[in-house]
Amino acid sequence: MLRKPYEKAANETINTGFGAKTEQSSDRIFDTKGKATVKKTGLSFIESHSLYHTLVELSWRQFYLIIFTSYLIINLIFAFIYYFLGREAVEMVLTNDSNLSFFSECFFFSTQTLTTVGYGHISPNSFWASLVASIEAIIGVLILAVATGLLYSRFVRPQSFVKFSNNLLVTPHKGIFALMFRMAPYKNTQLSEAEIFVSMVLKVEENGVMVNKYYKLETEISKISTFILSWTIVHPINENSPIYGFDLEDLQDDKMELIIHLKAFDDTYSNIVVKNYSYTFQDIVHGAKFVPMFTSNANGNATILDFTKLHQFEIVM
Amino acid sequence: MLRKPYEKAANETINTGFGAKTEQSSDRIFDTKGKATVKKTGLSFIESHSLYHTLVELSWRQFYLIIFTSYLIINLIFAFIYYFLGREAVEMVLTNDSNLSFFSECFFFSTQTLTTVGYGHISPNSFWASLVASIEAIIGVLILAVATGLLYSRFVRPQSFVKFSNNLLVTPHKGIFALMFRMAPYKNTQLSEAEIFVSMVLKVEENGVMVNKYYKLETEISKISTFILSWTIVHPINENSPIYGFDLEDLQDDKMELIIHLKAFDDTYSNIVVKNYSYTFQDIVHGAKFVPMFTSNANGNATILDFTKLHQFEIVM
Amino acid sequence: MLRKPYEKAANETINTGFGAKTEQSSDRIFDTKGKATVKKTGLSFIESHSLYHTLVELSWRQFYLIIFTSYLIINLIFAFIYYFLGREAVEMVLTNDSNLSFFSECFFFSTQTLTTVGYGHISPNSFWASLVASIEAIIGVLILAVATGLLYSRFVRPQSFVKFSNNLLVTPHKGIFALMFRMAPYKNTQLSEAEIFVSMVLKVEENGVMVNKYYKLETEISKISTFILSWTIVHPINENSPIYGFDLEDLQDDKMELIIHLKAFDDTYSNIVVKNYSYTFQDIVHGAKFVPMFTSNANGNATILDFTKLHQFEIVM
Amino acid sequence: MLRKPYEKAANETINTGFGAKTEQSSDRIFDTKGKATVKKTGLSFIESHSLYHTLVELSWRQFYLIIFTSYLIINLIFAFIYYFLGREAVEMVLTNDSNLSFFSECFFFSTQTLTTVGYGHISPNSFWASLVASIEAIIGVLILAVATGLLYSRFVRPQSFVKFSNNLLVTPHKGIFALMFRMAPYKNTQLSEAEIFVSMVLKVEENGVMVNKYYKLETEISKISTFILSWTIVHPINENSPIYGFDLEDLQDDKMELIIHLKAFDDTYSNIVVKNYSYTFQDIVHGAKFVPMFTSNANGNATILDFTKLHQFEIVM
């Protein structure tokens, strides 16, 4: 392939909201999980973090760890308060008379109050203990309210469960080459009206300064009415392509990054879901094509979509 | 009717996201419930299922069965733990001294803890029993949170409560024939800005290979501002129709399938709702027309929409 | 005014989804609350009602009545079960020995179980009573979950809090007449990107049959970026108007109905809200104009929107 | 700069929904928090306030104050009821016999009932006390439901966490001047498809009456696909600008206000979020430009967005 001068790129550069000067921006704009590689400074932790977003995006393991740790800490705090209110304040039957034994009963009194289980074999026996217990009980109620909200949010958070192929293939296609990758929805949801926007970043020299150039890539099909099977995105490298005439080294020199923005309507959630993804020049395989991923089953009443083949390709030249 | 060669179809084929080769796809793309006939393999159960989607789409009967079964299992697990902590660990009054009687009291202590009802006539009497009970109580609280979220999700899940006529009629219409079906919203909701997209799949031979051809069907009215009464969709079989000149056998040979995608705005939910539906050549009735489904009531202050007539048609030729 | 022949109406009739033949439809398509005057028959109650929609659209008074009645009924049912399990089954201290007194204690045991308050001064004392109580407690938990979901739904239901003027004015405007009504948002919410669609229904004779004709009305402004003050909708009765040349009797003869569909974005809910409204020929006042509804306050730092003036007009001819 | 006659403004005035006559409107239409400076009169408090909107938009401090105050008041009311039912009605162990001591136990019995903690060391001992307690318990359950809904609403309320620069700069730009301000998203959310609408209000004399003129301002970039870094909005003051030829005094005379409406899609919430903002002529700094706000970090794997620089500019002439 011949290298084509940048200034003749047929595609207009587009505004992505990212920096124009290379020195101002990171090497890769999105990581493979679709998160932008941006760090914010000059803000307090509180200001720069939405507690809600943070708690909703944690893994389930981290989320439950936080829940149980908070439960432990709150109960320890109240246990200490009951402990310092003294042995007269809380009525209980102690099997042995040690302070540790008293403290552990205070702790369990706290758990029974916070969860509102309130067996009653331990109960407040003074004005102050009763007051603290009534505050703890309402806090317990509010915590339940928050936990409900968070768990619900985590459940219903609209997500596009779509897997992308590991590689970006350069495939012979209708007499020229084409850049190809594919995606498939992997959950038991139904996506419709899926739309894809593909843009490319090239780091090039312009008037002696290294700048980021953003191009919208034309793809053969950019919208489908039902996104249920795998979908292969095809960018023909013709004279309208910003990388027309490039070879692999050119892409490497320019630190090519492909930014993918997928948008679809989830029929179950009745909501729009989005997914960002990114490929770099290191993901390119030259002269390969994807192996088919779906086929009809034996009696013809279902189409089988085989995810073991999602990343598979065969070398064709 | 004369058969019209496929290659002269005036409508452009469209991209639906389904397979192009017939061998790659099932005979029917959507079932009558609007679910795509796709099966995913090569994924673990966890990976291919969204727990949330699954629990939300279960029938109420299945949903409650799962709730009560889980309740039983969790209580049995905790009952065993209390049982093995021994008779000293939990304070209770046993009417008889059998192990079974002790186990059943452990089970009820568990239910009273998990639901946070906590009567207190059974109460934990050792450190370990208290600890297990405080864990069970917080689990109970979290389960309540999850149950709340799921029940709420099931309630508010935007759905388009629309019934379709059983049959697809071929009706004489303005001098030619037209393909007709009708739909009506059956719940006490109000749909506005309803839009319909109808596409047709024909399985035809092309260059010696059987392929699926997808056509967008033109309909006389494809958008209405208020979808409250029944709505009859009319596709005139004129020279722009992909089945112009077909007879019933042609449709059967080509395993014709009509795919319907309905989109509307639900005024109560303030949300977009969608509904997929599918007809095959077997649903066609030739030379029939639908009987009217609505009429004014006696004093003229309401329009009566009669669902007993939804599927009714009369033979007109 | 001269009567203009219907067939020369410059506006195209539009598809609203309502019936074409007058005998098929009610006199008025929407009532003044924006509900379509449609009744559905041939469906079971369950089938034609979405429980969720029904409970969400009840008034607060009705809603709480249903909540408390259900609470009473469920507790009565469980009270009877405990009652029939006998005096040995539930442990309690009875102040007198009557059956009524026993039943009322059973009832309160039920309320204490269902709400999970579980004081414990009444507690289950047999296997069967314990079992029923553990079922009642989990039902209580699920009812709490449902109540939470419903209350939340009622709170967040996107609604467009917009008031309409009582009358439809025919006002001299730029040398001709114009049809005017006005609307104003009355809650502490902020609506943006408001859009209005006005259509008119006339019942006219066509080929010997009375038919409903639907026209889209052109209005001077049909979209505003911020809907915070009052908004007067102006339809100039020029040669493009379907009622050009009509006098009041013509409108009455044709049972004119104006159907309004308002759509806006609620900044607080971040959701689209809609509102339907309808005027009939009986709401028309001829030769009047609205009095201004808003003005700057004394120190110029706020605009006062006065709702006592919403319906006020003055006769100008 | 030369003053350009208003009537030659190349931009069409636009409909914003605000008043046309200056006397009818406040000096400034939006305050700096993006709230319209409108006050509604002629409505009851209930009618003009959406309880939900009010509770959701309170600060957390105010919200918790209301929660705890309500908790206190409800418990005081029920405490009085139990108190007046008399000492026989509620079973408890009083450490001293004073009325105050009895009242405080009634109060704690109420808190234990309302939160459903129900220890049982205080329990209802008469029909009427039991009845009141069962009503209080169900009210407690409903309050929990409402609290859950409100807390959840407050958490998930779609908000656009975007900061605006304090000043509006007049900056030399491509040979002419341009009006500039900038914005940056400050939370750990990801905004995509951001769109900005900028309009300008000028208070000018027209036919002897002071009127508000609204202009849509053209900006160099009005839509970006990813809004993750800072975004500088540039309005070139060329012959199409409504303030072409103005100097600072003209802007002051006309009480220029810039109204900004930002709309974006929040990938985490999967929802559209909006943000209004407003600048006045007092915020203008002439002959200054913003200092860059982001740069690549040392090893090039992240872009640093520095919020300490958001408001910083340097004088360039």
A 18-37 near D (Cβ less than 8 A): 18-19, 22-29, 35-37
What pLDDT does residue A87 have? Answer: 85
How far does CA A81 lie from the centroid of its chain?
41
- Domain membership of residue D1 (yes or no) is no
Pairing of strands C294-296, D223-227: unpaired
Domain co-membership, B201 together with B52: no
Per-residue pLDDT, averaged over A110-130, amounts to 90
B 181-240 near A (Cβ less than 8 A): 197, 199
Q: Does B287 touch chain D (CB under 8 A)?
A: no
Per-residue pLDDT, averaged over D35-43, amounts to 80
- For residue D253, which phi and psi values (nearest 5 degrees)? -60, -40
Distance from CA of D303 to the nearest CA of A (A): 5
CATH number at residue C241: 2.60.40.1400
What pLDDT does residue D5 have? Answer: 46
The model's confidence at residue A3, banded by pLDDT at 50, 70 and 90, is very low
Residues 6+ apart with CB under 8 A from C121: C92, C93, D91, D120, D123, D124
Domain co-membership, A122 together with A245: no
Q: Which residue has the higher pLDDT, B290 or A8?
A: B290
Question: How many Cβ atoms from other residues are within 10 Å of residue C169's Cβ?
Answer: 26
What is the value of ipTM here, to two decimals?
0.76
What pLDDT does residue B293 have? Answer: 86
By mean pLDDT, which of C41-55, C113-127, C285-299, D237-251 is the weakest? C41-55
What pLDDT does residue D10 have? Answer: 45
Which tokens is D180 given?
Answer: 């500039």
pLDDT digits (tens, 9 = 90+) for A132-147: 999 999 999 888 888 8
Q: In chain D, what residues touch B120 (CB-CB under 8 Å)? A: 119-120
Mark residue B127 as left, alpha or beta (left: phi above 0; alpha: psi -120 to 50; beta: remaining): alpha
Facing residues of B265 across strands? B192, B272
B147 to chain C: closest CA residue:
C145
- For residue C73, which phi and psi values (nearest 5 degrees)? -65, -45
D114 to chain A: closest CA residue:
A138
What pLDDT does residue D149 have? Answer: 83
Domain co-membership, B209 together with B258: yes
Point out the domain boundary residue: C108, C125, C156.
C156
Distance (Å, whole) CA B19 – CA B26: 9
How far does CA A283 lie from the centroid of its chain?
21
DSSP state of C283: G
pLDDT at A311 over 90: yes
Domain co-membership, A112 together with A57: yes
- Domain membership of residue B306 (yes or no) is yes
- Domain membership of residue C198 (yes or no) is yes
Task: Extract the residue ranges of chain B whose pLDDT is less than 50.
Answer: 1-10
pLDDT at C82 over 90: yes
Distance (Å, whole) CA B283 – CA B179: 11
Helices (H), ranges, C157-281: 248-253
Burial class (CB in 10 A: 0-12, 13-18, 19+), B45: exposed
Which tokens is A216 given?
Answer: 């919208």
Distance (Å, whole) CA C91 – CA A154: 43
Distance (Å, whole) CA C63 – CA C66: 5
The model's confidence at residue A10, banded by pLDDT at 50, 70 and 90, is very low
The model's confidence at residue D212, banded by pLDDT at 50, 70 and 90, is confident
Q: Which residue has the higher pLDDT, B148 or C309?
A: C309
- What is the pLDDT of chain C when averaged over all its residues? 84
pLDDT at A299 over 80: no
Residue-number span of the structural domain to which A228 is assigned: 6-39+159-315
Domain co-membership, C139 together with C198: no
Distance (Å, whole) CA B215 – CA B231: 22
pLDDT at A206 over 90: no
Domain co-membership, A126 together with A33: no
Point out the domain boundary residue: D123, D156, D189.
D156
- For residue B289, which phi and psi values (nearest 5 degrees)? -135, 155
Choose from A24-33, C11-20, C129-138 the range with maximum mean pLDDT.
Answer: C129-138
The model's confidence at residue D15, banded by pLDDT at 50, 70 and 90, is low
Domain co-membership, C144 together with C93: yes
Distance (Å, whole) CA C93 – CA C83: 15
- Domain membership of residue A117 (yes or no) is yes
- Domain membership of residue D35 (yes or no) is yes
By mean pLDDT, which of A38-42, B254-258, D181-185, D245-249 is the weakest? A38-42
Distance (Å, whole) CA D228 – CA D317: 31
CATH number at residue C116: 1.10.287.70
What pLDDT does residue A42 have? Answer: 81
Asked if the Cβ–Cβ distance from D146 to C144 is below 8 Å, we say no
Q: How far is CA C125 from CA B122, B258, C94, C151, D124, in A?
A: 11, 64, 15, 36, 19
pLDDT at D2 over 70: no
How far does CA D95 lie from the centroid of its chain?
51
Q: Does D148 touch chain B (CB under 8 A)?
A: yes
Q: In chain A, what residues touch D221 (CB-CB under 8 Å)? A: 15
- What is the pLDDT of chain A when averaged over all its residues? 84
The model's confidence at residue A5, banded by pLDDT at 50, 70 and 90, is very low
- For residue A162, which phi and psi values (nearest 5 degrees)? -125, 130
Domain co-membership, A142 together with A53: yes
Q: Does A108 touch chain B (CB under 8 A)?
A: yes
The model's confidence at residue D3, banded by pLDDT at 50, 70 and 90, is very low
Instruction: Report which of A118, A97, A105, A109 is spatially closest to residue B127, judged by C-alpha positions.
Output: A105
Pairing of strands D38-41, C303-306: parallel
Q: Which residue has the higher pLDDT, C188 or B80?
A: B80
- Domain membership of residue B272 (yes or no) is yes
Distance from CA of D54 to the nearest CA of A (A): 19
Q: Output the DSSP codes for D54-73.
A: HHHHS-HHHHHHHHHHHHHH
Q: Is the dihedral of CA B234, B237, B241, B243 positive or negative?
A: positive
Q: Output the DSSP codes for chain B.
A: -PPPPGGG-SSPB---SS-SBGGGS-S-SB-TTS-B-EEEESS-HHHH--HHHHHHHS-HHHHHHHHHHHHHHHHHHHHHHHHHH-TTTEE---SS--HHHHHHHHHHHHHHHHTT---SSSEE-SHHHHHHHHHHHHHHHHHHHHHHHHHHHHHH-----EEE-S-EEEEEETTEEEEEEEEEE-SS--EEEEEEEEEEEEEEEETTEEEEEEEEPP-S--EEEEE-S-EEEEEE-STTSTTTT--HHHHHHTT-EEEEEEEEEETTTTEEEEEEEEEEGGGEEETEEEPP-EEE-TTSS-EEEEGGGTT-EEE--
Domain co-membership, D207 together with D276: yes
- Domain membership of residue B1 (yes or no) is no
- What is the pLDDT of chain D when averaged over all its residues? 84
**Cβ proximity of D189 and D315 under 8 Å:** no
Half-sphere exposure of A123 (CA within 13 A, CB side): 24
Q: In chain D, what residues touch B155 (CB-CB under 8 Å)? A: none
Domain co-membership, D303 together with D201: yes
What pLDDT does residue A1 have? Answer: 39
- Domain membership of residue A302 (yes or no) is yes
pLDDT at C222 over 70: yes
Distance from CA of D14 to the nearest CA of C (A): 9
Residue in B15, B123, B272 nearest the CB of A224: B15
| Distance linking the first and last C-alpha atoms of chain C | 15
Which tokens is D171 given?
Answer: 């900056």
Distance (Å, whole) CA C18 – CA C26: 10
The model's confidence at residue C3, banded by pLDDT at 50, 70 and 90, is very low
Q: Which residue has the higher pLDDT, A243 or B13?
A: A243
Q: Does D142 touch chain C (CB under 8 A)?
A: yes
- B127-156 and B60-85 are packed helices; what angle lies between their axes, rounded to 10 degrees? 180
Per-residue pLDDT, averaged over A199-228, amounts to 85
Q: Output the DSSP codes for B130-169.
A: HHHHHHHHHHHHHHHHHHHHHHHHHHH-----EEE-S-EE
Residue in D116, D120, D148 nearest the CB of B120: D120
Domain co-membership, C192 together with C296: yes
Half-sphere exposure of D277 (CA within 13 A, CB side): 22
pLDDT at A271 over 90: no
Per-residue pLDDT, averaged over D47-56, amounts to 80
Q: Does C48 touch chain D (CB under 8 A)?
A: no
Point out the domain boundary residue: A122, A156, A190.
A156
Domain co-membership, C75 together with C185: no
What pLDDT does residue D81 have? Answer: 95
Length of chain D in residues, anyone? 317
User: How many domains does chain A contain in total?
Assistant: 2
The model's confidence at residue A180, banded by pLDDT at 50, 70 and 90, is very high
